[in-house]
Structure 1
Amino acid sequence: MNSKYRLGIDAGGTFTDFVLAEQTGGSRLYKTLSTPADPTLAIRNGLALIAEDLGVALEEIIPNCDLCINGTTVGLNALIQHKGARTGLICTAGHEDSIEIRNGHKEDGYRYDAEYPPAVMLVPRNLRKGVRERVLSNGTVRTPMEEEDVRAACRAFIEEGIETVAISFVWSVLHPDHEKRAAEIVREMMPDALVTIGSELYPQVREYTRTSTAITNAYLAPILKNYVTAVDAYFRSLGARAPVRYFQSNGGLATGNVVADRSVYAINSGPASAPRAGLHVTEPFDEKNVITVDMGGTSFDITLTYEGVTNLNKNIDFLRYRIGVPMIQVETLGAGGGSIGWIDDMGLLQMGPQSAGSDPGPACYGRGGVEPTTTDVNLVLGYLNPDGLVGGRLPLDKAKAEDAIRSRIAEPLGLSLEKAAYGMFTIVNANMVNGIRRVSIERGYDPRDFVLVCAGGATGAHITAIAREMGIDRIIVPKLASGLCAFGQIISDVKYNHMATCPVRLDNEEAYERVNALFRQIEQEGREHLHKDGFADDRIRITRSLEMRYVGQVHECTVDVETFDIDAQTVERLKDAFHRRHEQLYTYSEPKNTVEVVNIESTLYGIVDKPSDARLSSGGGADSALKGTRMAIFSREGEHTRTPVYDGRKLGAGDRIEGPAIIEEVTTTIVVEPGWTAVLHEGGSYVISAKR
């Protein structure tokens, strides 16, 4: 296909970002307000901006895109607001309450908090139907499935108007026939219902995790199906020649039908592309230890990449629901540009997690918002241009921002407007710093060994303050920072995770052959899937991991290994990798103890060609980009400092700016605090360093 463009769309809580990359090099960034009530409306509005900017019809742009990629918060929002579909569960009789028992405890952090309320159940008790059947832990059938129980469940579901069904039986991963037959009956009696089969979605041991994952998938499936159907139809109407790809929480792309069937993979799709983008922008500087921070209008997302590898989560509690499938490890806080400042019952100033979002938005948006937000603070502190955001398309009302902070914060606390604003700025920064500490220091990483990459439209105003507090002395801010996740999508590959349960001890030849055969089986399934997506074998890459433990241990650890045939000789490589990983995690290993495998996983990538990067021409010195000065506040005393303001569009490669300074890009503002220096690299990123 002879294409000119690649399009990435990242739908956030406040803004939806669009990155249009040209195959010849260079990218264009566009933003529009998100429309949570109808997410497709924001896509239409953004595409209209692109057509207007290029001066051509959309029907000439979309057919010339080799890929259109969409990262969406539709699933996430439905789960947060508990607005998923009415869901029924078919499970082994006697296990109807496993999702409430939750392995006998609340999620980590609240395990011993008696006042912490129970999670809202996605499937009410009366919609959990037990079926008489039983498979033992060796895969043999003790009790055949009573098909009439499944039919009775379907009749009850029909009466209740159920539109999606999850099926999860005990030990179904070793004998999935009961689940498959139950699914056939459901499809026969409820042809319009969507069906999630637990052993296919998450074919690994741990019944509670598998059931919870299946329920969450079923709960979101109709929402995602309706969304991708609408988006796919819209792009087809514009002449799209390739199917829309959707970004998954595992950090890869998938087609709409896959996302609809495996909707649990799309829960956190937006921020999952940030690590890939972070590694891309740090590549010219040979940096592989990267903390990427993304502050949008609603949330603050943090990801950590160590030695080029981004952490993945499996079997975790996400929004209080156990999810087994792999997800990029993202720490999310309620700290965005729309985070609301308020005074608690003890008279202490707080910021967030409540957000003004895009409707009504911060007070300065003039859309009816009256609560003081982070954006109002940055405007009052002099960081933001009073003429407006997004190149002036979103005007700001400084007087309304001042009134909101003065009436809601400053006067009740007996502070000046300036001190109150800087106090709010300090608190929201402290919240973000605490989040960075959780993904770094609390997990054994020293943040000073990392470079901090700035993403999101609101982050630039806070980035040097955050780095200063963390002791990080190098920051990279790409010109595309406010759309970095959308950019990460267009440079990502198609990615599918294929898993299997394989409970064997690595002490006999039969065990080696079983592990080897299972890897081959799931990888062949993955290859066939990618072949259907149009990828030849030379465009497919495979990585492997195993969940392993010493015999007698309760919990296992994930071990990444190379792809090779497993036999009596090479199995020692598996054991050695496990011993090293165990010692890394727990400071000891037991080489003489027997090692056993619990689960295996193969990740298959369909390699996508990447757009070319543009190079900036050399600049003529920062003075040529100086727009003027603005009074800004950089201290808790609230003192004003006359600060130079630079037009980022007029800066060139090599231009150097000493702080204090403000750099205004079209979709983001970068605050360079006193004691920091910014230099624009030819790759299109500002390298901001602390003066030594």
Structure 2
Amino acid sequence: MRFAVDTGGTFTDLMVASEDGRLAMFKASTTPADPVAGLIDSLALAAAAAGEPLASYLARGDVLVHGTTHAINAIVTGNTARTAFLTTEGHPDTLVFREGGRIEPFNFTVPYPEPYVPRALTFEVPERIMADGRVRTPLDEAAVVAILERVRAAGAEAIAVCLLWSVVNPAHETAVGALIERHLPGIPYTLSHRINPSIREYRRASSTAIDASLKPVMGAYMRGLESRLREAGFKGRVLVVTSQGGVMDAASVAEAPVHLINSGPSMAPVAAKAYAGGTAEETLIVGDSGGTTFDVSLVRRGRIPRSREIWLGQPFRSAMTGMPSVDVKSIGAGGGSIAWVDAGGLLHVGPISAGARPGPACYGRGGTRPTLTDAAVTLGFIDAGFFLGGKMTLDEPAAVEAIRRDVADPLGLSVDAAAEAIVALATEHMVQAIMDITVNQGIDPAEATFVAGGGAAGLNCVAIARRLGCRRVVVTEAGAALSASGALISDLTAHHQAMFHTLSGRFDRDGVNRTLADLEAACDAFAAGPGAGASAVEIHWSSEARYADQAWEIEVPLARARFETEADLAALIDDFHRMHQDIFAVSDPGAEIEAVGWNAEVRCRIGTGQPGRLAATDRPARLPARAVRFLGTEARAEVEVWRLESIREGVVIAGPAIIESDFTSIVLDPGARAHRDGSGNLVIAL
């Protein structure tokens, strides 16, 4: 039996795959002060549904996969370790200067962002390695020892080491690491050439500093997670979702916690690709709408795009992780997003969220401010008596009163009109987030399929798709826990990279092949170690390339693991031009190409890798009709209500209608038509 748990801002989602391959879904309230408690609560719900004590139920488990926001939460809340930054003498401002760039070039009222590690904790190491790997200034070990004493006196809890050109010659960084172990034993540290061997100095320094700062807190979290799971009765393997869209052992990822920045959201496109399918030429727009955020990602030509330009906050106004990560855009728009009217009479929805505690007004947990969920209850989208399959009864009068007091009265609207405005504005926020990740990358959303996931996705997935011009919406059978369902089928993954510079006109085939051979050896070692016993092993290759002297490179998949003939090089060149055209709508087929980095991602299949099906239900397909006010209408209408799990394959449902499950409510606006396909997905034609 396998478990997959995704801890969100409002709910903790659990997917369980039983021994016969059937799936079961559970949701428990997230406990922000102690996320592991919410995880255990979700497992307790599953054990109770199976009629077993928690300990004996967990003892049957082989694997538990955990998606967590603990790393990014630690950064946002300032709960990371006090970190010292060691860099080459004469270059203390790498984290200060960054790479330039501004959101608003002429807005000088915005203060310059603080570096991730303050200058007071930045120390210059006497040494210098040149770009070709030659040692210009030998490492002064006595000076390093003196620096470490100053680090100790400063109260540093972790150390980040990033020396110039250590990606070409790591000898000095390795020596500094050995000195840290000798003179500051027990203090965690990160060496830049190991965590991120990138040619870009700021990105390498930033990822090193972030990783080091997270080691104490994430090490404690992972140890506590495993310990409490063992105490509860789980004896299997504990894996954690990484930003790259794979999983790693909890103990291993605690040694490189920078991989956990986008832990949970990275699984949504994995699930969409597996469940919604699509052709090699089709683009899937994946929207994962939970209680706190709306996360949007893509599946493009069967591949999940990744980016190294992942920011911890606003672009250019925060730190960049600099690590390859599934390209996910998140905004503060979810079921718990608070609606409010400013002093000028303008309505806002989010980014502030009511979270799990106190939650929306309708939860009855002390929340008094109106949210998107309150608006959905008011409009009839959600049955107040059937929330979470009837396990939680919502307070509809409290939702109505919150909207009347905070939105309807200030704007001079009826409660229904105010609730509709809240949903419409949240929808527009989500549409703009999708536009940012599609139109800005040359993708026409009208030619894509919208895959809606998350507990709040069904409230406006048809409205979002219509606004984008999409012709089809897919809500997967387990879409209410989209990230958890992706984690359940994900592969054990490790990403290895190396820097090697060469030009297409003077291509160093031997040097590139040596680099690829080293990467393959690292992948083979991973497959033989953590990946031992995998049912399948794949290595995905790519190169980071650009036009000669271009500022930025793009990641281009490689068709082969070695360059044996001129045709192999020609394939890389052609693929680069094609991808550049896709991303930037321009290419220069006659120009020389410059490759600067090489990547190998090894994926070890530890499960079936195939999407499962939820257990069948004998509940009636039709539920009592109810009055609903749809977006763009003037009054409520009595509409059909259907039970999602009980709809037979091929039955067509014409909107307006509501389709419900225990965990989501799907609003089928007038004019839309829905049916379930052979995989259990709800396919909506617009």
**Could you tell me how far 1:16 is from its partner in structure 2?**
0.5
Amino acid at match of 1:548: A
- What pairs up with 1:270-349 in 2 under 5 angstroms? 270-283=264-277, 288-319=282-313, 320-349=318-347
Residue number in structure 1 paired with 2:261: 267
1:56–1:518 Cα change, 3 Å:
same
Q: Which stretch shifts more, 54-63 or 429-438?
A: 54-63
Matched, 1:144 2:138: yes
Return closer, same or farther for 1:274/1:186 CA change in 2, 3 Å cut-off: same
Equivalent position of 2:527 in the other structure: 530
Indicate yes or no: 2:30 matched with 1:44: no
Secondary structure of 2:389's aligned partner: helix
Report the CA distance shift for 1:616/1:577 in structure 2 as closer, same or farther (over 3 A). closer
Q: How far, CA to CA, are the matches of 2:640 and 2:263 in structure 1?
A: 38
Q: Secondary structure at the match of 2:168?
A: coil
**Structure 1 residue 637, shift from structure 2 partner:** 5.6
Give the counterpart letter for 1:132 in structure 2. P
Change (3 A) 1:618 1:103: closer
- Map 1:111-510; keep pairs closer than 5 Å: 111-283=105-277, 288-319=282-313, 320-508=318-506
Q: 1:560/1:368 Cα in 2 relative to 1: closer, same or farther (>3 Å)?
A: same
Q: Does 2:651 match 1:651? A: no
- TM-superposed deviation, 1:267: 0.6
Structure-2 change in CA distance of 1:645 and 1:529 (3 Å): same
Shift of 1:512: 1.2
Task: Tell me how far apart the structure 1 counterparts of residues 548 and 261 of structure 2 sit (CA, whole Å).
Answer: 35
Q: Report if the CA contact (8 A) 1:24-1:612 is conserved.
A: no
Contact map agreement 1:457 1:483 (CA 8 A) in 2: yes
The alpha carbon displacement at 1:221 in A equals 1.7
Cα separation, partners in 2 of 1:584 and 1:336, compared to 1, 3 Å:
closer
**What's the CA shift for 1:161?**
2.5
Distance verdict in 2 for CA 1:583–1:285, change over 3 Å = closer
Q: Could you say if the C-alpha distance between residues 507 and 538 of structure 1 is closer, same or farther in structure 2, counting changes exceeding 3 Å?
A: farther
**Comparing 288-297 with 648-657, which one deviates more in the overlay?**
648-657
Once the two structures are overlaid, the 10-residue window that deviates more, 652-661 or 140-149, is 652-661
Q: Indicate how the Cα distance of structure 1 residues 575 and 383 shifts in structure 2: closer, same or farther if over 3 A, else same.
A: closer
Residues 375, 422 of structure 2: 8 Å contact kept? yes
Question: Within the alignment, does 1:597 sit opposite 2:595 as a pair?
Answer: yes
1:116 shift after superposition: 2.5
Letter in 1 for 2:604: G
1:557 to 554, 559, 581: 554
TM-score (norm 2): 0.94
Shift of 1:153: 2.7
Kindly indicate whether residue 679 of structure 2 is the aligned counterpart of residue 688 of structure 1: no
The one-letter code matched in structure 2 to 1:515 is: V
Once the two structures are TM-superposed, the CA of residue 264 in structure 1 deviates from its matched residue by 1.0
TM-score (norm: length of structure 1): 0.94
Cα distance 1:615–1:123, how it changes in 2: closer, same or farther (>3 A)? closer
| Deviation digits for residues 92-129 of structure 1 (CA, Å, limit 9, x no counterpart) | 122222111112344xx244432223334332221111
Q: Identify if the C-alpha distance between structure 1 residues 407 and 550 changes in structure 2 by more than 3 Å, giving closer, same or farther.
A: closer
SS in structure 2 of the partner of residue 152 of structure 1 = helix
CA drift of 1:300 comes to: 0.2
Q: 2:200 is matched by which residue type in structure 1?
A: R
Q: Classify the secondary structure of the residue corresponding to 1:90.
A: strand
Q: Which stretch of structure 1 is more off in the superposition, 233-242 or 24-33?
A: 233-242
Q: Contact between 2:292 and 2:335, CA under 8 Å: does it hold in 1? A: yes
> Which stretch of the first structure deviates more once superposed, 499-508 or 531-540?
531-540
Other structure's SS at 2:349 match: strand
CA 1:576–1:536 in structure 2 vs 1: closer, same or farther (change >3 Å)?
A: farther
Q: Secondary structure at the match of 1:297?
A: coil
Q: For the residues of structure 1 that align with 2:563 and 2:587, how far apart are their CA atoms? A: 22
Letter in 2 for 1:671: V
Separation in 1, partners of 2:377, 2:47: 31
Structure 2 runs not aligned, ≥5 long:
none
Structure 1 residue 239: Cα displacement: 4.8
* Worse-superposed segment, 634-643 or 95-104: 634-643
Q: Judge conservation of contact 1:221–1:262 (CA < 8 Å) in 2.
A: yes
Aligned-partner residue type, residue 20 of structure 2: T
- Distance in 2, matches of 1:288 and 1:586, equals 19
Shift of 1:415: 1.0
Letter in 1 for 2:48: E
Q: Percent identity?
A: 33
| Among 91, 98, 108, the residue aligned to 1:95 | 91
The answer on whether the counterparts of 2:441 and 2:583 sit within 8 Å (CA) in structure 1 is no
Q: Would the alpha carbon gap of residues 588 and 659 (structure 1) be closer, same or farther in structure 2, given more than 3 Å must change? A: closer
Task: Give, in whole Å, the separation in 2 of the partners of 1:352 and 1:411.
Answer: 19
Asked whether 1:547 is paired with 2:536, we answer: no
Q: Secondary structure at the match of 1:244?
A: strand
Q: d(CA) in 1 for partners of 2:354 and 2:577?
A: 49
Deviation at 1:133, TM superposition (A): 0.8
Query: Which amino acid letter does the alignment assign opposite residue 557 of structure 1?
Result: I
Asked whether the equivalents of residues 541 and 561 of structure 2 are also in contact (C-alpha less than 8 Å), the reply is: no
Is contact 2:275-2:611 (8 Å) kept?
Answer: no
**Structure 1: how far apart are the matches of 2:526 and 2:156?**
30
Give distance in 2, aligned partners of 1:589 and 1:288: 22
Which residue pairs with 2:666 in the alignment?
Answer: 670
Tell me by how many angstroms 1:40 deviates.
0.8
Distance in structure 2 (CA, Å) of the matches to 1:325 and 1:389 = 39
Distance change >3 Å, CA 286–CA 29, structure 1 → 2: farther
Further displaced range: 451-460 or 608-617? 608-617
Counterpart residue number, 1:62: 58
Q: What amino acid is the match of 1:169?
A: L
Distance in structure 1 (CA, Å) of the matches to 2:667 and 2:624: 15
Aligned to 1:468, what secondary structure does the other structure show? helix
Aligned-residue Cα RMSD (Å) equals: 2.3
Take 1:471 and 1:589, find their aligned partners in 2: how far apart are those partners?
Answer: 27
Secondary structure of the 1:281 match is helix
Query: 1:58 is matched by which residue type in structure 2?
Result: L
Contact 2:95/2:117 (CA < 8 Å) preserved in 1?
no
| CA-to-aligned-CA distance 1:222-245 (integer Å, 9 cap, x gap) | 221111111112233345444211
Partners of 2:362 and 2:394 within 8 A in 1 = yes
Distance 1:253 1:97 in 2: 34
In 1, Cα distance between the equivalents of 2:233 and 2:202?
Answer: 45
C-alpha distance in structure 2 between counterparts of 1:268 and 1:537, whole Å: 25
Question: Quick check: 1:618–1:652 contact (8 Å CA) kept in 2?
Answer: no
CA distance in 2, matches of 1:456, 1:593: 44
Q: Which amino acid aligns with 2:466?
A: R
Structure 1 distance, partners of 2:131, 2:278, is 52
Kept in 2, the 8 Å contact 1:282–1:476? The answer is yes
Encode CA deviations 1:364-404: one digit per residue, 9 max, x unaligned.
11111111100110010111112152122222111111111
Cα distance between partner residues in 1 of 2:534 and 2:630: 56
User: 1:287: Cα distance to partner?
Assistant: 8.5
Determine the C-alpha separation between the residues in 2 that align with 1:412 and 1:262: 50
Q: Distance in 2 between matches of 1:616 and 1:524?
A: 40
Q: Which amino acid aligns with 2:239?
A: R
- Secondary structure at the counterpart of residue 431 of structure 1: helix
Structure 2 letter corresponding to 1:352: G
